[in-house]
Amino acid sequence: MIDDLCDGPCEEEIATAMFYCDFRDQQEQTTTNIIGAILKQLLVRGEVLEHVQQAYQKAKSEVGGRGLRLPDMVKMLKQAVAILPQVFICIDALDECPPKHLLELLRSIGDILRESQRTRVFLTGRPQVETEITESFITGITIPIVPRTHEIEIYLKHKLEMDPERRAMSVSLRTDILRIIPERISKMCVGASTAPISCMLLY
């Protein structure tokens, strides 16, 4: 997604930041650290950096230095997006974010969006976090991601090409794999997507 934003035509400067939630790194992936990681990627202009440098110097001058609290971090991120013409923030795998941090994170994003109408946020996650996301924002878009048949074929062909045990593969087995698996998965996905397709505008 980030790459598409970067590659696509645009008439205005945009700044992008991404974050990948990871259940293996939950200890370190606190809301404050996630917002901080996003902010780091937006330090693309001198004015943005200045705000952060000032806060850093102030914190450093205090006895023993001072760590950042979430409100401080959100404030700095708000200052950054206010300066930049347009900001895209992409956060992947929200279901891997612990519930406590997820709600804080969504609330913080909501805070930022309220002050910057030009900011766009792209989120991905499993269906179990849909409720939290829709409750955190008033309107918005939810797009169900279902693999298309041709995508499954692309993936299978790639995997078959990369198979180190090529001699174990016969032409007929390869043909069957490329025919049957996309067919079966498509049927499964069609079955799964008979639930109403929820396209809901968020925030």
Partner 1 sequence: MGNSNVNCNNVTTSNKNIVNFNKVIADENPEIMQWLSPLDPRRRHQDVRTDRLDGVGDWLLETNEFRGWRSNGGGADKAVLFCCGDPGVGKTYLR
Q: Which of residues 168-187 bind partner 1 (CB under 8 A)?
A: none
One-letter identity of residue 84: L
Give pairs for 143-151: CB < 8 Å, separation 24+: 143/199, 144/193, 144/197, 144/198, 146/189, 146/192, 146/193, 147/185, 147/189, 149/182, 149/183, 149/185, 149/186
Closest CA to 200 of 136, 149, 152, 148: 136
**Least distance in angstroms from the C-beta of 136 to partner 1:** 9
Q: Residue 58, interface with partner 1 (CB under 8 A)?
A: no
Q: Residue from 62, 63, 64, 150 that binds partner 1 (CB under 8 A)?
A: 150
Q: Residue from 26, 47, 50, 53 that binds partner 1 (CB under 8 A)?
A: 53
Q: Residue 40, interface with partner 1 (CB under 8 A)?
A: yes
Question: CB-wise, 52 or 104, nearer to partner 1?
Answer: 52
Near partner 1 in 82-121, by CB under 8 A: 84, 86, 92-93, 109, 113-114, 117-121
Q: Residue from 75, 107, 111, 142 that binds partner 1 (CB under 8 A)?
A: 142
Q: Residue 75, interface with partner 1 (CB under 8 A)?
A: no
**Least distance in angstroms from the C-beta of 84 to partner 1:** 7
C-alpha distances out from residue 15 to 44, 46, 170, 175, Å: 8, 14, 49, 45
The residue range among 1-9, 97-105, 163-171, 172-180 that interacts with partner 1, by the rule CB under 8 A, is 1-9
Question: CB-wise, 7 or 167, nearer to partner 1?
Answer: 7
Number of residues that bind partner 1 (CB under 8 A): 87
Q: Are 89 and 110 in contact (CB under 8 A)?
A: no
Q: Please state, in angstroms and rounded to a whole number, the distance separating the CA atoms of residues 149 and 134.
A: 29
Question: CB-wise, 154 or 169, nearer to partner 1?
Answer: 154
Q: Please state, in angstroms and rounded to a whole number, the distance separating the CA atoms of residues 187 and 147.
A: 11
Q: Please state, in angstroms and rounded to a whole number, the distance separating the CA atoms of residues 46 and 118.
A: 20
